[in-house]
Structure 1
Amino acid sequence: MYPFSTRSTLLLGAGLTALLSAPSTAFAQDQAPAEAADTAEEPNSNDIIVTARRRSESAQDIPLAVSVIDARQLDETGAFNVNRLQQLAPTLQFYSSNPRNTAVNIRGLGVPFGLTSDGFEQGVGIYVDDVYYSRVASATFDFLDVAQIEVLRGPQGTLYGKNTTAGAINITTNQPSFVFEGRAEISLGNYEFRQARLAVSGPLSENVAARVAFSGTSRRGTIRNVVTGQDIQSLDNLGVRAQMLWEAADNLKITLVGDYNKQDANCCGSVFVRTGTTQRPLNRQFAALAAAQNYAPPSTNSFDRLTDLDSQLNAGNVIAGASLRAVWDIGPGTFTSVTAWRYWDWKPENDRDFTGLPIVSLSQNPSQQNQYTQEFRYAYTGDKFDFVLGAFAFDQRIDTQGTEAQGLAASRWNIAPNNALSNDPSVLNGLTARNTQFLESTSLALFGQVSWKVTDAFTIQPGARVNYDKKKGFYQRRVFTGTGTELLGTETDARSRAQLGVFQPQVSAPEDTDWNLTYDLTLSYELAPDVLAYGTYAKSFKTIGINQNGLPTDANGQPIAAAGTIRPETVDHFELGLKSQFWDRKATLNLAAFRTEISDYQATVNNGQFGVLRGFLANADKVRSQGVEADFSIRPSQRFTAYASGAYTDAKYVRFTDAPCPPELSGGTTAAAGQTPSAPSTPGGISPANCDISGQRLPGVSKWAFSFGAVGNLPTEFLGKPGDVYLGYDGSYRSGFSSNPSPSAFTNIEGYHLSNFRIGFRSDDGFNLFAWVRNAFDENYFEQLFVGPGNTGLIAGLPGDPRTWGATAAITF
């Protein structure tokens, strides 16, 4: 049996106690806006209330492409984190090889695909109750006591504190109430899946209320490590959130929030997928190197889910924080102040050679982040004008202490066979790089948006933002031999030169400042009752970046200082949309067409060698994402609801002439001036210094993505309780996509379709019991493919979850 952690065991017990002891009569409850709409008595009352524009309004009345998922849909579809949320929102992309190396993109844009650098900004902002979460690792945690999630598509910098060029995920949690209420939930499933949730709220005095929520998730891994006998890619998440609301006056509410989230998973690894022929000499490609060391992967079938990683794995991860939110109604408007502190502690251990050989024996880059934010915002609603004005301040410090060490097999793997040192394991065994780095980042902004109702049908909505950013970084790599001698980079003996070919000492301290102006204009017109057309143009920026993980080097091995800072992205965004409801508002159809062009796109450049440089940022000349989206839902009665969402996204590099080459064009002798590079996959060939990938697809983006589903219910009685029996289905499909920044034939992922089913009983007094199966047809698919270091042709991968099933019991009281 896979051990369930002590923390999760306590939480499971608490949840079961609450579930079994809860009274059978449901108390009156202040529902979240989306839940209230979902459970309204009138079948045509399908309005979903959102706060996307910093005020409560119907999602159908705002000229903005937004997907809304309420608490019930999250719970019953098992979308308990952003990874599963993407199955409900087809324009959302999520990739995570570990919590640090996580990307959340919308319409294919947001962050560059690949190894993460602290030196650039996220393009998709994650906000929880108005607090900006700068660390994308937060997207890997479980949602905690969520009322509603809004996925906003397109630039949002004139409405949100932190400039977000690709979109935003706006998460609203359940708030403290002055009526005692709560919810308890228990889930059990295969792979020893166990999840417990508990939320309790009520008054502490006449004008003070509190709410406390807990969540715990545990599951053994889905990949078996034949070396350690452990199952990796496990889940072990714990979350706690406490809120206290003080109604200081009739028009003033102050909320204090604290949260703590911890992950302690046996994670993160990969499986062998395939090999491809690169331009290295044949004796330096994977097959020959593995044979020389009598090595073979545990299986050549990735979906046997076997690996043999021989280094310690860990994804220890803590995200916590506190916030103070004051909402003051002043006349016709509302003044909001949000003061917040966020903390992130990342303690990883990885196996960067993706094999069972001791090539890289240690790879870890633990980080600690402190973030402080302050936002002031005033929202006014009038007959002719609505507006939002805001000011935002952001201060962040990240410290990282990295260690990477070579193992006994490193000499044979990293030193050319014609060099006698390749047969001496002691040359590279124990060779260690110790990295020390920090980043200080400051951002200040003034932003605002106005809605002018020219007529009852026609509205003009301009917005603007002024942003100042300052970034200051420091990076130092010191190199030590296995005997503890420090290498300074000036050594000339053959042994030292071989060691310096793997790790070079380096010091850099890039810093930069930048001002930019963001603005947008939206025109909307109500063509008929419940039919809204709109058009938007937005000029946006992603601020400067710096290469925080070290700099690329020139032909003489010297750091290229000019690569220390990265130019800001310039974004031109165009969008046309139509929002409509018909059939007495029982049906909703929303359409959007968009085109986003980004100049000086901040791309990730990967270095194929072990340890030389994990990856750095560079500017691609231009990228473009364009497409069409459709969202349809129908609710003819309280007994049946169906939905379908689809997106066609054409995202490509318009111009990127000096990109890193894919593995089939890498590893050979670098072409000199006038030389013609060899054909792809020519062993011992001539490789281009860089590649022109203009016109090729952006990584991680499927051209076609769909989400669809339906749920129906019938009245019945179960265990003496009146209620409804229901049957639900949720499906998703995405076409194939590239899993490498420079498209490669070796890393194309085929499209796949997932089907999820649930059947259950929901009583009239708040009890819900249902069984579920996810990936019901046990589809084999990859979430990501990775190019192994060293250009040996090794391709590793992360398989998606297999079929999982279980049952959930929940009660609302």
Structure 2
Amino acid sequence: MNRYVKTALLAGAAWSALSTAVLAQDAPPQEETATNVGEIIVTARRRDEALKDVPISVSALGAERLEETGATDITALQQQTPNATVQVARGSNSTLISFIRGVGQQDPLWGFEPGVGLYVDDVYIARPQGAVLDIYDVERIEVLRGPQGTLYGRNTVGGAVKYVTSRLSQDPELMLRGAYGSYNQVDLLASGSMPLADNFRIGGAIASYQRDGYGENLNTGAEHYNKDVLAGRVSMEWEPREDMSIRLAYDRVEDDSNPRHGHREVAGVGPGAGVPDSVYDTYAGIGDENSVMNQGFSATVQLDVNEHWTFKSITAWREGETDTVIDFDNTPAPTLDIPAYYADDQLTQEFQFLFDYDRIQGVMGFFYLDGHAEGAFDTIAGNLGIVIGTGGQVNTESWAGYADVNLDLTDRLHLSLGARYTLDNKTGTVFRANYLGATNSPLLGGTPRAPLLVRTDYTASNDFNQFTPRVALSYDLNDDMTAYASYSQGYKSGGFDMRGDAILTPDTVNGYEPETVDSIELGLKGSLDRLSFAASVFRNEYNDQQVTTQVPAVGGIASFVDNVGSSTFLGAEFEGSLFLSDSLSANFAVGYLDSDFEEFLRYNLALGVYEDISDQVVLQNAPKWTGYLGLTWRGDVAGGELAVTPSVSYRDDYSQFEFPNPILDQEAYALVDLSIVWTDPGDRYTVGLYGKNLTDEEYRVGAYNFAGAVFNDSLIGYYGPPQTVTASLQVKF
């Protein structure tokens, strides 16, 4: 089936482009919609621009499209964005794992930086815990593909995701939304705003998301893969004078969903070590308590200095706390149980100076981050009769100055130049020790006892700096179409391995170096009568690549965070929308990615040397083909507008880790969805029916690989949601 789905997606996208010439003869006037590449406004270059004028690969999904496709959280971006992986982390409910064009971060441990930057209203979110943002009170989401080292800085080597919330209305508003669906899903949302004066408004939103589990912990009887989330946001907007605006915002999310222990993929030895019939079931024995809290405050001040210059200040503070447990062996016995806690906080300050003259536009800025991340976890190894306690912290200070300028060389030819200099200072503390007894270590409140063997104990500091340039040349072929060529570089900071074992890998005390991605891209975007599209081809060179792995070793588990070497990516993307008739439109996205390691250095535990094993590894989360095709029919029904959107998304074979594993790696699959949304003539009532994964496809989104007798062959898979159907009702007052 998957071969036919891929063929249909590619043929559909190609037909969309080729059919334009025929359809153009009787093309109707084109409306401004979130699927129109030429009309939607984005802030990819930190200023408002039409999407077609931005020489960057950007997917922009507006609120209308997100609603019509039934998107519930930002992991929905994976289906509609070419060459993107946006998933819930293995063993988690709200930790985000993102890859763009094969570059990202699977390891959410404190101190290890993401490769795709996440921004909420221009505020950088440094840690992935609690970053699976539910979609509510949102204006649009932008996905910037390729390194964004100039405008967005460190840790955007793969790209960036921008979550843009809705601004407050000048008029009183109240919206109530309720939904009920499969597995006793109950979603409740209320949002609104109130003007207290002509220049002062307050507003907010609160959302509750409840759902029974897709499966069950067959050992404890608890729900597995359930959802219990409460989220809220309040904001204030004030214009003390015509040339000045101030926006204050606070948000908080609490996730008390049960931990996800995964599904045992092969049978082990002993009670509860079999393979459960349902991929959502487990026999985990460590417990079912999990708690995640994230909150933040931001203040954005904008001042129009004169007709050419605008000053903006973005001040933000965030913190997060996570207490969780993961049963890696998925059995009642404590063969490989991991209780853990994470905590982080960050303070960021950004100053921007935007300017716009007749033939020159751009932004200059300064960015500062002061971050702290800490945590501890136990590796309870019951078959060894010990627990390996690991704890530590990382303090980060980062300074950066940047500029990005667009020069109109002629009315049609534009040159964009950008540069950023970043200086990072990191101090890491790592402690790792063996304790006798397969119970919690003193690091997590276990019985006080002296270490049996101290494996790692050090504090070290390191400075990292990087200059990241960008240059793009674009040409307006006509008023509706732009071609461009660009070069950009991204930089991801170095650091210290919080799991590092100084006995097995002595070099861990030296930390690891930054990684960089150099990208060359050619693109064409704009509109042709009924067709709005964006197409690009690119080549990425990935150097000093940071890779995290854990492998069984004598006396425990060895952790590696190494600069393994380099890899090369070649790819192409084509996305857009086509108006087939007055009532029928299509949205499509196709991505192609060819990736290959050129060098992969791995420390040989037995020989104590580094070896190049590039012929044995592949890039993780880098499927060769990704695709999306959705059709939307709109028509007048019962006095209102009905929108029906069937869609199919495709994801090719991909590996969960750099080392292929036929048991854990995911074969190609397709997801079929259907959304039906009716809105009354006054836009007051909206009724929706959303079917997701209608063919009930079983597909892995993560895995753990701890093969071997010591860990009872713990090969664990984590799965995406099964078939669900949800009905919703929204009322505006």
TM-score, structure 1 normalization? 0.80
CA distance in 1, matches of 2:568, 2:291: 37
Cα deviations by residue, 1:184-243 (Å, 9 ceiling, x for unpaired): 211100101111111101201232101111111111111221111122111111111000
Shift of 1:153: 0.6
Q: Is the 8 A contact 1:43 1:635 kept in 2?
A: no
Q: For the structure 1 residues 531 and 141, does the alpha-carbon distance in structure 2 shift closer, same or farther, using more than 3 Å as the test?
A: closer
CA distance in 1, matches of 2:219, 2:78: 33
Shift of 1:122: 1.7
**2:17 aligned partner:** none
**1:317 aligned partner:** 292
**1:769 aligned partner:** 687
**1:544 aligned partner:** 494
CA distance in 2, matches of 1:294, 1:485: 22
| SS of 1:656 mapped into structure 2 | strand
**2:25 aligned partner:** none
**1:726 aligned partner:** 643
Q: Is the 8 A contact 1:268 1:315 kept in 2?
A: no
**2:613 aligned partner:** 692
| SS of 2:168 mapped into structure 1 | coil
Cα deviations by residue, 1:246-288 (Å, 9 ceiling, x for unpaired): 111101001111111110001211112236xxxxxxxxxx4xx
Q: Is the 8 A contact 2:378 2:441 kept in 1?
A: no
CA distance in 1, matches of 2:175, 2:420: 41
CA distance in 2, matches of 1:733, 1:43: 20
Q: Is the 8 A contact 1:508 1:551 kept in 2?
A: no
Q: Is the 8 A contact 2:488 2:519 kept in 1?
A: yes
Q: Does residue 189 in structure 1 map to residue 181 in structure 2?
A: yes
Cα deviations by residue, 1:594-631 (Å, 9 ceiling, x for unpaired): 11111110111212259834733101110122200001
| SS of 2:220 mapped into structure 1 | coil
Q: Does residue 744 in structure 1 map to residue 688 in structure 2?
A: no
**2:457 aligned partner:** 507
Q: Is the 8 A contact 2:154 2:492 kept in 1?
A: no
**1:110 aligned partner:** 104
Cα deviations by residue, 1:309-336 (Å, 9 ceiling, x for unpaired): 1111333111101011001111112111
Q: How does 1:156-555 map to 2 (within 5 A)?
A: 156-160=148-152, 162=154, 164-274=156-266, 286=268, 290=269, 293=270, 296-297=273-274, 299=276, 301-303=277-279, 305-331=280-306, 332-360=308-336, 362-406=337-381, 410-411=382-383, 414=384, 428=385, 431-482=386-437, 504-554=454-504
Q: Is the 8 A contact 1:659 1:693 kept in 2?
A: no
CA distance in 1, matches of 2:30, 2:176: 20
| SS of 1:307 mapped into structure 2 | coil
CA distance in 1, matches of 2:531, 2:259: 44
**1:651 aligned partner:** 595
Which amino acid is the alignment partner of residue 171 of structure 1? Y
| SS of 1:510 mapped into structure 2 | strand
Shift of 1:671: 6.7
Q: Is the 8 A contact 2:616 2:659 kept in 1?
A: no
| SS of 2:64 mapped into structure 1 | helix
Shift of 1:689: 8.7
**2:632 aligned partner:** 711
CA distance in 2, matches of 1:690, 1:553: 19
CA distance in 2, matches of 1:642, 1:651: 30
Shift of 1:135: 1.1
| SS of 2:167 mapped into structure 1 | coil
Q: For the structure 1 residues 564 and 704, does the alpha-carbon distance in structure 2 shift closer, same or farther, using more than 3 Å as the test?
A: same
Q: Is the 8 A contact 2:273 2:283 kept in 1?
A: no
TM-score, structure 2 normalization? 0.89
- Where does the alignment leave 5 or more consecutive residues of structure 2 unmatched? 1-28, 443-448
Shift of 1:741: 2.5
Cα deviations by residue, 1:65-95 (Å, 9 ceiling, x for unpaired): 1001111222232222222221121322024
CA distance in 1, matches of 2:318, 2:499: 23
Cα deviations by residue, 1:731-754 (Å, 9 ceiling, x for unpaired): 100011111222233332111100
Q: Bigger shift: 118-127 or 383-392?
A: 118-127
Q: How does 1:123-138 map to 2 (within 5 A)?
A: 123-138=115-130
**2:72 aligned partner:** 80
Q: Does residue 576 in structure 1 map to residue 496 in structure 2?
A: no
CA distance in 2, matches of 1:774, 1:43: 21
CA distance in 2, matches of 1:484, 1:57: 57
Identity of counterpart residues, as a percentage? 28
Of 679, 691, 716, the residue aligned with 1:796 is 716
Which amino acid is the alignment partner of residue 743 of structure 1? P
Greater C-alpha radius of gyration: 1
Which amino acid is the alignment partner of residue 812 of structure 1? K
Which amino acid is the alignment partner of residue 44 of structure 2? A
CA distance in 1, matches of 2:607, 2:312: 61
Q: For the structure 1 residues 264 and 452, does the alpha-carbon distance in structure 2 shift closer, same or farther, using more than 3 Å as the test?
A: same
CA distance in 1, matches of 2:655, 2:240: 54
How many residue pairs match? The answer is: 693
Q: For the structure 1 residues 368 and 610, does the alpha-carbon distance in structure 2 shift closer, same or farther, using more than 3 Å as the test?
A: farther
Q: How does 1:533-612 map to 2 (within 5 A)?
A: 533-554=483-504, 560-561=506-507, 563-583=509-529, 586-609=530-553, 612=556
**1:641 aligned partner:** 585
| SS of 1:540 mapped into structure 2 | strand
| SS of 2:76 mapped into structure 1 | helix
Q: Does residue 782 in structure 1 map to residue 688 in structure 2?
A: no
Q: Root-mean-square deviation (CA), in Å?
A: 2.8
CA distance in 2, matches of 1:701, 1:55: 31
Shift of 1:793: 4.1
Q: Is the 8 A contact 2:597 2:618 kept in 1?
A: yes
Q: Bigger shift: 179-188 or 154-163?
A: 154-163
Q: Is the 8 A contact 2:34 2:62 kept in 1?
A: no
| SS of 1:615 mapped into structure 2 | strand
Which amino acid is the alignment partner of residue 142 of structure 1? D
CA distance in 2, matches of 1:202, 1:563: 55
**1:809 aligned partner:** 729
Shift of 1:530: 1.3
Which amino acid is the alignment partner of residue 466 of structure 2? N
**1:149 aligned partner:** 141
CA distance in 2, matches of 1:560, 1:43: 53
Q: More strand by proportion, 1 or 2?
A: 2
CA distance in 1, matches of 2:628, 2:346: 35
Cα deviations by residue, 1:536-585 (Å, 9 ceiling, x for unpaired): 1123322222212333434xxxx6145531111132111100113111xx
| SS of 1:773 mapped into structure 2 | strand
Which amino acid is the alignment partner of residue 774 of structure 1? K
Shift of 1:352: 2.4
CA distance in 1, matches of 2:300, 2:364: 17
Q: For the structure 1 residues 110 and 630, does the alpha-carbon distance in structure 2 shift closer, same or farther, using more than 3 Å as the test?
A: same
CA distance in 2, matches of 1:643, 1:483: 54
Q: How does 1:750-765 map to 2 (within 5 A)?
A: 750-765=667-682
| SS of 2:131 mapped into structure 1 | helix
Q: Is the 8 A contact 2:266 2:275 kept in 1?
A: no
